Structure 1
């Protein structure tokens, strides 16, 4: 599933085309994805102008001139695609882009028209239209923790959230109520960089170590965004390109391989925690 860096990469790829663009010729090719599309989805999008492009956790948010926000979750295999066209290229509807494309439309900005498609082979993604002034109160967003790249995320926040918590720190960091948007890959990488064992109880991580951990969470996310995210199976950005951060993984997916720390003679191990594979170096991340 695309994690925060991949979703942010998609947002940045769409922003130059969609921010300030007027949407038209919207086509919905099926009644549902993971959930049904909103009532009158096509009519509510058609003619709207995208005011800006935001991201909250792993959601893309496009506030519209209509007072609603178009929300998209990519699920496992969802992806947006862009295809440039000259003005007036679409005389009727934007053309469909294959059997797995479920939404298509055209976006006009600065006299140019771009075709936008959304495909999702496994249909675990979903879309919604929410009144913009009610987004934060919506069940999808209510209760989410702070953004790991925002000012609300700090060692003090983690210390409070982890206080007395017996659950291991790895699974705790995946709790979206504690911090929003973190996923399995980047939690493994951040814990390795911080030298924190994924097996230790969250409530037992010291304050100095939490300072290091919060810094490394931010750094690994920034590094991944700079590399365009990670492509393991299906992720591609809006231009169809792949991310490259997978080539920089220190531990994720490297079970049995030597630790990348030159001073360490250990190897990467794997354990299942909360139904997810955790990769770590027991020597560098001793409890």
Structure 2
């Protein structure tokens, strides 16, 4: 049984209890972060905590813990759960108050939860076989750059993809791909350029996305940050997704049509290996 963290205590998961009046439950008034774990160590924790602070600021949500205190909580969970590979999930809500749309009084303590999940990130079947994707309209709220727990549309889109025999959905707004339901989207053009959507309020500033862009530059490859259409996807040489819990997965089919030759692309596989090599070096 896992040990979880709840509001200052490390307790068994079956003993963790949160009020039915918590605003994370009643309003999804909460944000979250997910940090990958390799070889028992956190990957890019500093980048994740920086994004957490940004999301907190955008939502005017206070968390009276320092970055060092958050790191210590993460490390204690890793130790107590003997986690070698997987993730640490963090969620902070605005706290407990009788249902009221207005924010609670200043000084109301937030609810902070962290827990671990074991997951095979490197030896993943999807990394070997590639993903099938469907396209759906992007009907989410207009601040997708904030990592909020309001993920209902993402859940609906993932379920629709599953029912149609696919692995995920890429979301389309005004004719351009924004991102996947829980990942950033990339294509590789016929002339070898790696393309991903530029950052804006329409998509999450992915930690893995940012690192990949740096690695792609370092490898002397061409990267273009711009919008791209479904037609470009279907005529691309390769496609892939990135996220903290997958690193890089090839995309081999979109809306029933193969991308490239319908197999994981060679450049995609190289980029995934670049990322893994870098991740293992960072956590060593």
**Larger-gyration structure (1/2):** 1
User: One fold, TM greater than 0.5?
Assistant: no
Task: Please state which structure has a larger fraction of its residues in strand.
Answer: 2
Q: TM-score, normalised by structure 2?
A: 0.30
